[in-house]
Structure 1
Amino acid sequence: MNTLASTRSLAIFVGPVRSLRAASVLARDQAKSSISEENKAFDEIPRPNKFQFMRAFMPGGEFQNASITEYTTAMRKRYGDIYILPGMFGRKDWVTTFSTKDIEVVFRNEGIWPHRESLDSIVYFRKHVRPDVYGEIVGLVAAQGDAWGKLRSALNPIFMQPRGLRMYYEPLSNINNEFIERIKEIRDPKTLEVPEDFTDEISRLVFESLSLVAFDRQMGMIRKNRDNPDALTLFQTSRDIFRLTFKLDFQPSMWKIVSTPTYRKMMRTLNDSLDVAQKLLKENQDALEKRRQAGEKINSNSMLQRLMEIDPKVAVIMSLDTLFAGVDATATLLSAVLLCLSKHQEKQARLREELLRIMPTKDALLNEEIMKDMPYLRAVIKETLRYYPNGLGTMRTCQNDEILSGYRVPKGTTVLLGSNVLMQDSTYYPRPDEFLPERWLRDPETGKNMQASPFTFLPFGFGPRMCIGKRVVDLEMETTVAKLIRNFHVEFNRDASRPFRTMFVMEPAIAFPFKFTDVEQ
């Protein structure tokens, strides 16, 4: 970890720490002053018993094939805005809350080093199965406390500052141009609909774009090299890890007690992805060294090269986590944007008007200057995140004793914050069943943006531990949607009453054979 404690990293870290520490102490004192004997005991929080919980997910149970959102929403109707999600087989009880006041209390008192319940199966792999690779650096997913703080502070300038992404506009434009050609290849010449498995093509596009950031290379998965074995391994494992994590760390599982088939598959999957990532990064560095020796000037501003400067282990971890956290979630979001625009043609037409003003030709290469003037594009993406929430919410571990919905919740309790469900609640969003990108635009009379209800619109989390990949996702989504809607009229002529389900995150529940008609201009 010595490389993480560089002067540059510490300078970034120490200043915010001091101000955050003072704010944390004040928030903690305020929270303590609100605790009184009038509040109810933790044991009084409503909950299903453990047998009911386990039985509900077994074959024939009420929630055998239910998503986490369906389960928690059903429990909300049954118990109210706060209840206990029982822990089993080594996992602790989780408090689940849908109260904006509770969500604010937890976030305001999370301190300078927020603690989020780790994905235990991944943590176990990194600490106990492959410590030879990870050592003390287990990544943002697994790290806590001071170790997390130092790593996050070193990574923030790379991931969270827009200028670090400028170099990716042109290659992402080329990747999207290739995807447009792929659509033309595979769509039916008569109906102009793409095949039923189009979600696989979308996932390949997202994988190709994220690989550009994670590995400094294009894999060719869209058209040129679709059967590349290394790329296919990373592509498949990044998607499998998501589903296996849900089974091991969210649903009742005995993997901490006995070696289950799902646990063994997870360990193989994580090993396979790690081996390929190490191989690709070594090839990358060997090629760069040859170019340096040949006297070629190397651009060292890429995100990968900046990660390598921190520590090669950090580069391996973040490259894998970029794919693991990004491929399925971003691909599903792109499917949702296309679906929303397909079902609301007037919104698609308005977006295309904006794009035609900024992008005079279909194959225009995008850049920072072009992309900064697209308010309706950003409103469409933001409204899609509200209309089809990308998951239930996020988790935090209470750093102090807290009062949530009138119950005394002790320090160390994990709280599942169901903020994303509130984005479809009419209490907070007028006309929640309507797709209205305009709700995110400046009011033409007042010049002010609509203010979302506090602690209800948090698709990327909140505070120091919010999603570090937010800007990468923004860049990928904005460039792709801009290119597709500039080139095609998009339609969806199928039933879309229940197009998604939410397991660990939202995923497609139906096929998406969109109809793509060429834009004439």
Structure 2
Amino acid sequence: MLRALRSVRSGLHATYLESYFISQCDKLSSKWLTRGLHSAPAEDVAEDAGVTAAVGARSGERPNKSNRNQEVRPFTSIPGPKPLPLLGNKLFFTTIGGYPMERYWESVQRIYEKYGPVVKVERFSGSLDMVIAFRPEDTRKMFQAEGIYPMRPGLGILTHYRSKRPQWFSSPGLVPGNGPEWRRLRSVIHPLLRREVINAYRPAQTEVANDLVRAIAASNQHNTKQDPSRHIISDTLSILFHYTLEAVGVVSLGMRLGCLASTSANCQAQSIIKANIEVLNVLGESMLQPPLYKLFPTRGYRRLSAAQDTICRQVDVEVARRREELALDPEGFTQRHPFLASLMNNPDLSSQDVFLLLIETLQGGIDATATTLGFCLYFLAGHPAVQDKLLKEVQHVQPEIHTLQGLPYLRAVVQETLRLRPSAAARSRVIQEDTIISGYCVPAGTFVVSPPNVACYDPQIFPGA
């Protein structure tokens, strides 16, 4: 994703604050969405027409009118590509279909330009229909119709892998899971993201961020022949991957992995990063492929298994060591590692539950954080005035005291980065009740996807975008 990211201007300071402002990325990304929701004029938000109108719209009958006297149009009239015989729209997101996943953001933009703010991709996967909703107010509708247990099409290949590793996993987990089990695990992890727990890691995260600064400085190459003032970082993204692994390892593994000591020589860090990238690649590919891995170990499944086993084996060793440390010094361990201690001391969690949550915390924090931070540095390098203003704000702060709320310009830079390059490709739900999206009745059981990029670049939502 960031292969074009190769140079960073010398004035760019990767300060120690990066370690904790980046931890807010997902939350801030959601706030951009919320801003879009609140910025949308009330008259643009389709009102629910009630159960009678919804049923009538789905059956093709003339529905009752809402309070705004707006007709609810039937699901069958939503614009979109026509399904092919037998294949449906399985090829829609391929080069043959014209909207390849390899160029996801461009494909999504072209879909919007061709079909409008709501698109139906009929028989996207088997008999499952997909609706793409671009408007922020329709994203809100999607979430309002998610029911008690949010449902997303699972990452079946990951679920299948975990079912074959009972020594490590007893459930699909948070990432591919759904239903009551998902809610049980989510309710456990949510309190551990409180500010008090996060604040306990600030000193350690400050050390990690200082190591990042030193790693960037060590990688700096002066091009004195052509331009003495120019500085080149040969592989910025690689350094950032090492940084995010080191930072998340402090929390999820309770240790320093030494990723930034020597980015080329640390075999453990390299193997985890490489394996994590492989897992993400396979998961992306599997979304458009039939689940043949259930019948026999396909090439994709073998790749996923090898990569995931690499990570799990290393995490398993470290978790065993942390349990020994906890047994020897419970009080000291809890002070040093509140996140780990809370999980390991929870009587409602099995050892497999703890392992699963640590794996998901570790893997979930590597790629998204590194790419977001990489884009942030990239944009700053292209806007020296913004860079200088940000530098002045953060130069003299103490990370033990200051927060993002006390650093408004830094907060704005992170938010703008997430607007320009959202960390999530889309939000999605299999809605559990009928709802109205852009004036169309969308029945329960429909897979609704909301890509953020169109709204993020909409000048009506973000003036000057």
Please say whether Structure 1 and Structure 2 have the same fold, judged by a TM-score greater than 0.5: yes
C-alpha distance in 1 between matches for 2:340 and 2:130: 36
Establish whether residue 122 from structure 1 lines up as the match of residue 161 from structure 2: no
For 1:55 and 1:401, how far apart are their aligned partners in 2? Answer: 27
Other-structure match for 2:310:
272
Bigger shift: residues 215-224 or 188-197: 188-197
Q: 1:198 and 1:283 mapped to 2: Cα distance?
A: 32
Query: Residues 254 and 337 of structure 2 are in contact (CA less than 8 Å); yes or no, is this contact kept in structure 1?
Result: no
In the alignment, does 2:114 pair up with 1:78? Answer: yes
Distance 1:213 1:329, change over 3 A: same
State the distance in 2 between where 1:370 and 1:79 align.
43
Q: Which runs of 5+ in 2 are unaligned?
A: 1-46, 63-71
Instruction: Choose the corresponding residue for 1:205, options 237, 240, 243.
Output: 243
Residue 58 (structure 1) shift: 5.5
Matched, 1:283 2:321: yes
Match of 1:164 in 2: 197
Q: 1:194 to 1:286 in 2, by over 3 A?
A: farther
1:133 to 2:154 alignment: no
Give the conservation status (yes or no) of the 8 Å contact 2:430–2:445.
Answer: yes
CA displacement at 1:85 relative to structure 2: 3.4
Match of 2:300 among 259, 262, 276: 262
Kept in 2, the 8 Å contact 1:392–1:421? The answer is: no
C-alpha deviation, 1:172, in angstroms: 0.9
Deviates more, 1:195-204 or 1:56-65: 56-65
Mapped to 2, the partners of 1:262 and 1:69 lie a distance apart of 24
CA distance in 1, matches of 2:184, 2:334: 28
- Counterparts of 1:91 and 1:266, CA distance in 2: 27
Residues 101, 107 of structure 2: 8 Å contact kept? no
Q: Please, which runs of 5 or more residues in structure 1 have no aligned partner?
A: 1-27, 360-364, 433-521
How many Å apart are 1:331 and its aligned residue? 0.6
What corresponds to 1:421 in structure 2? 454
Please name the residue that 2:231 is paired with: 193
Task: Calculate the TM-score normalised by the size of structure 1.
Answer: 0.68
Q: What is the CA distance between 1:422 and its match in structure 2?
A: 0.3
TM-score, length basis structure 2: 0.76
Secondary structure, counterpart of 1:84 in structure 2: strand
Q: Deviations over 1:81-106 (max 9, x none)?
A: 22233556658332111133322222
- 1:382 is matched with 415
- In 2, the alpha carbon distance for the partners of 1:99 and 1:89 equals 24
Question: Secondary structure at 2:300's aligned position in 1?
Answer: helix
**Is residue 404 from structure 1 mapped to residue 423 from structure 2 by the alignment?**
no
Residues 297 and 182 of structure 1: CA distance in aligned 2, closer, same or farther (over 3 Å): closer
Q: Which residue of 2 aligns with 1:460?
A: none
SS at match of 2:335: coil
1:10-159 equivalences under 5 Å are 31-32=50-51, 34-35=53-54, 36=56, 37-38=61-62, 39-48=72-81, 49-50=83-84, 53-55=89-91, 62-64=98-100, 66-87=102-123, 90=126, 92-126=128-162, 128-135=163-170, 137-159=171-193
d(CA) in 1 for partners of 2:451, 2:263: 41
SS of 2:119's equivalent?
Answer: strand
Q: Which amino acid aligns with 1:393?
A: A
Measure the CA separation in 1 of the matches of 2:445 and 2:95. Answer: 33
Structure 1 residues 380 and 33: CA distance shift in structure 2, 3 A: farther
Quick one: which of 177, 180, 205 aligns to 2:210? 177
Is 2:434–2:442's contact at 8 Å kept on the other side of the alignment? yes
**Hey, what does 2:284 align to over in structure 1?**
246
Identity of aligned residues (%): 24
Deviation at 1:226, TM superposition (A): 5.5
Looking at structure 2, the residues matched to 346 and 214 of structure 1 have their Cα atoms a distance apart, in angstroms, of 37
Number of aligned residues: 394
CA apart distance, 1:139: 1.9
Pick 1 or 2: higher relative contact order, CA cutoff 8 A, min separation 6.
Answer: 2
Contact 2:246–2:256 (CA under 8 A) maintained in structure 1: yes
Q: 1:59 to 1:419 in 2, by over 3 A?
A: closer
* Residues 296 and 165 of structure 1, relative CA distance in 2, 3 Å threshold: closer
- In the TM superposition, residue 323 of structure 1 has moved relative to its aligned partner by 2.7
1:216 aligns with 2:254: yes
Q: Which residue of 2 aligns with 1:354?
A: 393
Pick closer, same or farther for the CA change 1:388–1:174 going to 2, 3 Å.
same
SS state at 2:436 partner: strand
What is the one-letter code of the residue matched to 2:182?
W
State the distance in 1 between where 2:281 and 2:435 align: 33
C-alpha deviation, 1:224, in angstroms = 5.2
Q: How does 1:279-318 map to 2 (within 5 A)?
A: 279-291=317-329, 299=335, 302-310=338-346, 311=349, 312-318=351-357
Distance 1:257 1:217, change over 3 A: same
Q: Distance in 2 between matches of 1:287 and 1:229?
A: 25
In the TM superposition, residue 70 of structure 1 has moved relative to its aligned partner by: 2.1
